[in-house]
Amino acid sequence: MKFQCSACGLRLNSNHFKYQEAKKLQLTSICDQCLQRGAKAADFGNVPIAIFAQGLLYGFVGRDNEDQELNFLVHSKDKRKRYESFIQDYDSNELAQQQLSRQEFNQALIASEVGKIEFIPQLNLTFAENLNKLGLKVDFKLNEVDFIDRERIRAKYHYRCQYCGRRGHSVDHKDPVSLSHNNDFDNLILSCQECNRIKSNMPYELFIKLNAQIAQLNQKLVKYENALATFSGEFEQRRRSIAATMHLKGVVNDPELTQMRKQNKKLQDAIDSLSSDYDELRKLREQHFNTGWKLLQVNSKEDII
């Protein structure tokens, strides 16, 4: 859920308007960034937030009524959109939050909004590039496993993904490096590129739990991979035979070549069909992990509801 701040005009996640006083949760008419700037919530009205707070029996800090024409600090809709996107990037990036406090992040934004920093976040720049332009530093390259250790891991696990059993060469951190900063050998395991991508920042314990629930599906994926490798190898060998026969005969078409091409066409059709079934299983497996991860995030999210 998002609300619009009555001071700066930015539409932000509802958590930016949450204020804890003693044991009572209150919602404010303006965002945490504007509060840090020195604006007072009691000077601003915000009808949607006031109604929402009343419905949930929360306190509300702000005026009862709202001005007909709000004079937002960030006048331009385009500029508000850029700030909103940049703040959303920070809100969803655990690595940035670990290295950069909310107060420091807000202070840079405040300086940008009032013109002390002559830069406004750009939609065509990466989050890291926008941070640098605002004078904020975050190290996004915490994976410092050297080549020798990577080869040791690959040899240790015989180039087999330790999650699904397919062939793999991606060295993965059990505890995500973005959270643990742990490049120790004990925290490294081998995975296929697909499992590495799906796992991403997911906790190792959760990924293992979800993976155990689909053990039979993983076994099928290994069989599909082996079958595709066999078919593809045979197809390539036959393709080379056709090329060699053409070279020896010095012709492009004759009955023998036509027959060979027909056989290879049937083989290609079988490969395509097998690949389609394989991709469906892969998508189903990825959905399984994504659903489990999202459910955990929703349950642990500190929303105002």
* SS3 letters across 18-59: EEEECCEEEEECCCHHHHHHCCCHHHCECHHHHHHHHHCCCE
- pLDDT at residue 239 greater than cutoff 80: yes
DSSP-assigned states of every residue in 185-223: GGGEEEE-HHHHHHHTTS-HHHHHHHHHTTHHHHHHHHH
Q: Which amino acid is at 192?
A: C
Q: Distance between CA 91 and CA 18 in Å, rounded?
A: 14
The model's pLDDT over 39-82, given as tens digits with 9 standing for 90+, comes to 999 999 999 999 999 998 899 999 988 766 678 999 899 999 99
Helix (H) or strand (E) holding 4: strand 2-4
Separation of alpha carbons 253 and 260, rounded Å: 11
Q: Is the pTM of this model over 0.75?
A: no
Q: What is the pLDDT of residues 182-230, one digit of tens each?
A: 778 888 999 999 999 999 889 999 999 999 999 999 999 999 999 999 9
Cα separation, 221 vs 227, in Å, equals 10
Q: CA-CA distances (angstroms) from residue 147 to 42, 151, 173?
A: 58, 6, 15
CA atoms within 13 A on the CB side of 19: 21
Say yes or no to pLDDT of 126 above 80: yes
DSSP code, position 160: B
> What residues have CB less than 8 Å from 280, skipping those under 6 apart?
none
C-alpha 153/C-alpha 298 separation (Å) is: 34
Q: How confident is the model at residue 169 (pLDDT cuts 50, 70, 90)?
A: very high
Greater confidence (89 vs 139) lies with: 89
**C-alpha angle 9/10/14, rounded to 5°?**
120
In three-state secondary structure terms, 163 is: coil
Q: What is the model's pLDDT at position 179?
A: 67
**CA 48, CA 54: separation in Å to the nearest integer?**
10
User: Is the predicted pLDDT of residue 304 greater than 80, yes or no?
Assistant: no
Mean pLDDT of the chain: 90
